[in-house]
Amino acid sequence: MQQGWTFPWVSALLLGVMGLHVSGSEFQHHRYEDLVRALFAVQSECPYITRIYSIGRSVEGRHLYVLEFSDNPGIHEAMEPEFKYVGNMHGNEVLGRELLIKLSQFLCEEYRAGNQRIMRLIHDTRIHILPSMNPDGYEVAAKQGPETNGYLVGRGNARQFDLNRNFPDLNALVYYYEKTNGRNHHLPLPDNWEQQVEPETLAVIKWMQNYNFILSANLHGGAVVANYPFDKSRDPRIRGRTTYAATADDKLFRKLARTYSYAHSWMHKGWNCGDFFDEGITNGASWYSLSKGMQDFNYLYSNCFEITLELSCDKFPPASALPREWMGNREALVSYLEQVHHGIKGMVYDENNNPLGNAEISVAGANHDVTTGVDGDYFRLLLPGTYTVTASAPGYVPYSSTVTVGPAEAIQLHFYLKTAPKQNLKAKPHNGKKNHSSPKAPLKLGPR
């Protein structure tokens, strides 16, 4: 692991000083076959640091291809975080799709050119890029093209489902648990959930189950703002009013959103598309309440922190606008990716130095725990500060440690848990009371 992650503003300066240029294929809109060719062209140019895999198929049978960047493609290396970008969730919001194709070309080209920043990023991170989550909707929108594309044409998948309102609603469950002291992470999915979601949504959820993603962003269009959780209001009865719905990591999410906004050429200015967002960021529910969205699901179901990036006023900008959009987003895409290397990370072992998967990592004052992956490694994004961190696992004695997090790369903090002594149940005094478990909870259309 290489050290010394640079701050976004220093990184931007370095890109300028090094004279990095826009290269690769000419800017154009990519239909499905063009997208596949572009991804495989990158893989062919950088075979030792890339891998292409499919997470599933759309309703009409198109592959949902992911391009992976890593110094060991196809392998999770312990202590190396997993990151993902998802584009084109709404089929007619196409800029994210094109930016992620261009980012893939950029990463390959700059790695081959010896760009130390990009080389370090690929060596220290496993990066997954899904340019199009909704290839069927895109084809519907692309048939109309930039000139006549309607606001809703191609937004949904082939069955006309809005994929960003198609994930299991875990917000209702966590809001209930907040009142009953229940779980704050990795919430259970409802019964028969697989039959309740679309094929594209199912593919993404299975993807999240197979990879321990730590940080993510999904790219949209129709506004210019970095949107962070929660998207769903805690009080759905309030109509016509916006209510801020903060997560337990609200300050951290605001920092992640600002990282993108200020590294973007104009998002941070606030005034875009006839709207104003202070610093170019917004809490989702404060903008408008949205149920069953992907970013909230990431936070409540997995270890992944995700934000939603609205990147253009025009959902389907003409090809002539793509070079400017790429230059406006290039540094932001790289700077946001680098945020996965902040906070703390480490391993959790038992007393025989065996890694413990699914151990829980809790931070005092932050009511949102994370878990170790199958290899026993964990990653907890945190702002600079001093924290008391506790590792725990069933059958082991919890252990706490205090750590100070700085503004640079993640601090390593390992845990070694001892097996809990077997309790002598006969020796326990009986108070005549039953041990009750906590009760179980019953299981505005906009750019997002």
- Reply yes or no: is the peptide bond before residue 230 cis, omega within 30 of 0: yes
Using alpha carbons only, what angle is made at residue 156 by residues 310 and 148, rounded to the nearest 5 degrees? 75
User: pLDDT value at position 144?
Assistant: 85
Q: Report CA 388 to chain centroid distance, whole Å.
A: 25
Q: Report CA 354 to chain centroid distance, whole Å.
A: 29
Cα–Cα distances (Å) from 4 to 260, 267, 332, in that order, read 20, 27, 19
User: pLDDT value at position 429?
Assistant: 43
Show which residues are catalytic: 310
* CA-based max dimension of the chain: 79
Q: Which residues pair with 226 in a beta bridge?
A: 281, 309
- Averaged over successive runs of 10 residues, the pLDDT of the chain (448 residues) comes to 40 39 66 98 98 98 98 97 98 97 98 98 98 97 78 92 98 95 96 97 98 98 97 78 92 98 97 95 95 98 98 95 97 98 98 97 97 98 98 97 95 97 55 39 53
Give the neighbor-by-neighbor strand order of the sheet with 385-392: 366-371, 360-363, 385-392, 399-405
Q: Which residues pair with 272 in a beta bridge?
A: 275
3-state secondary structure 24-88: CCCCCCCCHHHHHHHHHHHHHHCCCCEEEEEEEECCCCCEEEEEEECCCCCCCCCCCCEEEEEEC
Q: Which of 387, 163, 436, 168 is nearest to 298 (CA)?
A: 168
Domains of the chain (ranges plus CATH)?
32-341 (3.40.630.10), 343-419 (2.60.40.1120)
Looking up tokens 């893939």 gives 104
Q: Which of 66, 33, 36, 38 is nearest to 51 (CA)?
A: 66
The Cα 129–Cα 146 span in angstroms is 24
3-state secondary structure 193-205: HHHHCCHHHHHHH
Contact 222, 313 (CB under 8 A): yes
CB atoms closer than 10 angstroms to residue 71? 16
- 238 phi/psi in degrees, rounded to 5: -80, 115
Exposed / middle / buried, residue 424 (Cβ in 10 Å: 0-12, 13-18, 19+): exposed
The Cα 6–Cα 54 span in angstroms is 33
The Cα 226–Cα 235 span in angstroms is 23
Residues in the chain: 448
User: pLDDT value at position 430?
Assistant: 40
Amino acid (1-letter code) at residue 42: V
Cα–Cα distances (Å) from 246 to 19, 36, 366, in that order, read 40, 39, 12
Q: Is 103 helix (H, G, I), strand (E, B) or coil?
A: helix
The Cα 350–Cα 85 span in angstroms is 34
Read off the pTM: 0.89
Contact 41, 87 (CB under 8 A): no
Q: Which of 54, 62, 132 is nearest to 92 (CA)?
A: 132
Contact 95, 142 (CB under 8 A): no
How many CA atoms within 13 Å lie on the side-chain side of 241?
A: 9
Contact 324, 22 (CB under 8 A): no
Exposed / middle / buried, residue 441 (Cβ in 10 Å: 0-12, 13-18, 19+): middle
Structure tokens at 48: 């030792």
Amino acid (1-letter code) at residue 12: A
The Cα 265–Cα 16 span in angstroms is 13
H or E segment and range at residue 263: helix 250-263
